[in-house]
Structures are given as C-alpha cells and as structure tokens.
Structure 1
C-alpha cells in the first residue's frame, strides 16, 4: 500500500512500513524481498546478530519485540518457529489497533485460536501458509505463493505489500483455511514423494538405466496425471463417483498384483504403496468397483 501526503506545493509518496518478527531462513528471505522493493522495514529476532546483514541492506533493528511492534503503524508480520513461539514472543506486547499477519506454521485449530487471541488484544488478524522455500521468496518466476485467510478487508488493505515476497492467494474468511489448504497441499506432495521414492527404488537394481532420463519421464507423467484432481473434485461435488470414469477401481485394483510382484522381483519393499491399495480393495469389496477414486475419501473419515 502506498500512502500519499499532499502539501501546498509538493506531493510525497512513501511505502507502508513493515515490522517483521523472526529472522530464520524464511524470515530473512521475506525481509530481503521487502527491502529490495524499497519497503521501510523494522526487524526483531531472539538472536540480534542475525539482523546484522539486513541492517546493511536498510533494515532497522528493534532492541525488543515490544519496540518493534510499537515502532510503525504498518502490519506486524510473524515468522516464528511455531505457534507456542508466538505466545512467548508477544507476551505482554501491546497489540491494540495493530494489523497482525501470522506466517508461522500452524494447524487450522491453532490459527482459529490465534484469531480469537488477536481479537481479544484489540488486533486485526490474518493467517498465512507459505507455499514456497526460502530461495523462491522474492522470485515470482519460481511460482511460490502464500495462502491467506481471515480478515478479508485486512488482506485487501495490505495485498500489494503481501504480494512483494510471493504471490498472495486469499482462501477464505475462516482463519483456519490457510493452514488447512497448506497442510492438504503438502500432504498431497508427501504422497507424490512416496511414489517417486518407490519408482526410483524399482530402478535401483538396474545399473545400466539412465536415472536422469527416467526422472524426465517421471516428471512428465506426474504432471499429466495431476489434472485428475479436477475430476475427483467434480465427483465429490456431484456425489456421482462414476462420472467421467475411464479406469474404474475394479480395473485399477486388478492391476495392483502386477505392481506388487514387480516390487518383489526387484527386491523392493512395497510399504509405500500397500496402504493405498488396501483402501482400493476395501472400496471394491463394498460394491463400488465401477467408481473412480473419489469414493475412497469416505474411507479416511474417522467417525
């Protein structure tokens, strides 16, 4: 956000100041992005020496967290170790009238509790989930972004500022939705990494295979299959789990034995695949072999 002061003969514009608490790898990357964009920045960290290089780039270092929060009328950005650290760092700090943006990793429940905590202390609150690693911050071409949820008016007020380090995506006024999206996306990524690990394990005994060439095929294939998420979403929305199905659960389950036999032949433990295969078999046994994958979502719900 740019603020303009209008005088009799001149018009002066200055960038909204930012306060950042926490200078780990991610916090430092955020700080450098705002400094590079010309944003006035005040920083605080438990170990002050981490702020040294940022001072040379234009940052102001506060002696205490209370001083940092009180130093500007801009948003207070939190990028700390965990949710408990937020309590420790801001214990006794006056937040009345402040805009607090929490980029500390948390659960959806913790984010909702933090929103209530901020409201009780007279602060406006926005929660964020960073979908990037530090080297991606400040480099929009890498595709990194931050998910935000909570106070929509607060998000719109600071959207320009928040888009400096990475893309900014608002995902709902429920304060827990940024954390929920964050964990859901990372869970999908974890499953993908499990599949990649299994795939390379299958190849590991074949010494004459080019791993780099296989990696290119693997990345291309996974990219092509990622679009299936849209079909699953459509089926979950409609309640018709057979909609648009080309390879149903019965067909896929029948092929699982081939995967398992190949793993045994290649001396590979199938443990990264078998839990998912067991869910598929259970759904087929329930009489849903004509469905796609969407119906298995219900098998993961804990009643």
Structure 2
C-alpha cells in the first residue's frame, strides 16, 4: 500500500483538487484534521500526501473514508456524474458541495443526496483562494442545519463559516449577489484609480485613503438595508437628484481627464431612471425600487 494511503476513517474527505480544492485540503490539515483526498489526476494528491493527507485510491474510497465529504468540482453535472455510481455510499454521510452553480442546481442536488440517505450542504468560498484557512475567509453554507451544526468545528478550519438557512438555494444566491457587490466596488475603485492616476497620483497612495473611506460605505449598506426593509427613503445621505448631478460631474471630469466613462455612465443611467420614476427627491436607497421593478418587467 502506498505511503499515506489507507482505509482508516478520517475526519473529512476532499474530492476535487483544483486550485480551491487543494487550498481546502491544506486548511483542514493545518487545522489538525485527518484528511482524505482524491482527484481524477492522482498526481495532484502528491503534495497533500507529503503534508499528511491520506490518499484515496478511488472516489468511492474517499466517499466512504469520512463522515464529512467536501466536493469542489467544475460544475454540478460533474459532481452528479462522479457520485451517481456510488450513490448508496452517501447514506449517513454529509456532502458539502463547494462547486459553483445555480440555486436550482443546489435544490436538485440536495434532493438527490437526501434520496440516497445523506445530508446536504451547499457552499461558496467568498474570499477566493488566498485567504482560505484564515479567520477572515468567508464561507457561506445553506442546507441541513443539523449537518452544519455537527461539522461546524471542522468547517471552521476553512475560515468564518456562516449558515444562511435550510434552503440549499441560499448559498448560490448569496454567492452570486456578493460577487456582483464585489465587482461593483472594484469597478468603482478601478475607475477612481484611473481618474487620480491622470493627475499623477500613485495607485498605492490612493488605495491607502480609499480603504479609510470604506467603513463609511459599509455603514451606508447597513443603514440603507433598514430603509429598504421599511420602504422609507429619507434624504439624509442626499437625494437621487443630488447624486445624479454629482455623477454627471464625475462623468465630465473623467472625460476631461481623458479616461473612460463606462462606470459612472452606468450609475448615472440608473439614477436617471429612478428620477423618471418619481424618486428624484427621495433618498438614494430608493434606487432599489427601480432595480426591482426592472427585474419584474424583464
């Protein structure tokens, strides 16, 4: 039997050792948990075995090796195709699926696992791969509350693990929503770096000031979430009309500095739509109604 390959039970199995899967396995090992690993290309297990992981000879062996199975594969179809022939081995197991997909796929996967006697958690790594294993790495899970509670300590080896609710669709919904949030913030940051760069400002110098500004932005999110829930939009942080005028200034300044206006034009168009729908004198959080209405009319 090859070194570190056995049939002894371990705490967690990781199936799929791409960039994220490998980091997941490393985090479990670093946290002191006995970890079994399997990948279709066996050579990808070598470095993890050298770090103390147990190599499973087959995917079925990995599935049977631990009570908690963490799967990280290209898509849900690949997960289903891989596990279908050994589905009976899911009985009594917890499958935590960190594969990216849609809410509908998560619900279908949960039903399929439950049909074979297992418990299902759908999950998403919200901090990429660089922070995995650190307390600030955010992981969101949804699905079986009992399964999450049972394995919470082990999953905490990955970072800050948050259970969103029993509906397995919640993790992919949050995954997509938070991805959009991150890109909205980054798009604004990239535009800002280009704008100050046209004035000769070093990107690092600007970032140092920008990060000091972000706690204020985060506080707006919390306050505006309450406004959205209440359906009341006071103008404490400025009206839609005032912000549209400020966005027009940003567009003109950008154009004068010779940089693209794609990002501020997008926000300006949203504010103009909100004004056209009668929200001009409302607080800026009222743009949620324009966004939501657009979705209903699509």
Give the TM-score normalised by the residue count of structure 2: 0.90
The counterpart of 1:23, out of the listed 17, 33, 42, is 17
Conserved in 2, the CA contact under 8 Å of 1:97 and 1:123?
yes
Provide the C-alpha distance between the structure 2 equivalents of 1:220 and 1:84, rounded to a whole number of angstroms.
43
Equivalent in the alignment of 1:3: none
CA offsets 1:96-123 (integer angstroms, 9 cap, x no match): 2221111112222221121112112221
Counterpart of 1:137?
Answer: 132
Matched, 1:295 2:286: yes
For the residue of structure 2 that corresponds to 1:125, the secondary structure is strand
The answer for the alignment partner of 1:188 in structure 2 is 181
Q: Does 1:154 align with 2:147?
A: yes
Q: Distance in 2 between matches of 1:161 and 1:21?
A: 16
Following the alignment from structure 1 to structure 2, what is the Cα–Cα distance between the partners of residues 68 and 267? 57
User: Larger helix proportion, structure 1 or 2?
Assistant: 2
Residues 1-303 of structure 1 correspond to what in structure 2 (within 5 A)? Answer: 17-72=11-66, 74-93=67-86, 94=88, 95-140=90-135, 143-207=136-200, 209-242=201-234, 245-301=236-292, 302-303=295-296
Q: TM-score, normalised by structure 1?
A: 0.88
SS of 2:85 mapped into structure 1: coil
Q: How far apart in 2 are the matches of 1:285 and 1:134?
A: 43
Cα distance, 1:16 vs. partner? 6.0
Distance 1:187 1:266, change over 3 A: same
Taking only aligned residues, the RMSD between alpha carbons, in angstroms, comes to 1.8
Task: Please give the alpha-carbon distance, in whole angstroms, between the structure 1 residues aligned to 2:127 and 2:190.
Answer: 21
* Unmatched 5+ stretches in structure 1: 1-14
CA distance in 2, matches of 1:273, 1:113: 39
2-side partners of 1:99 and 1:269: how far apart? 49
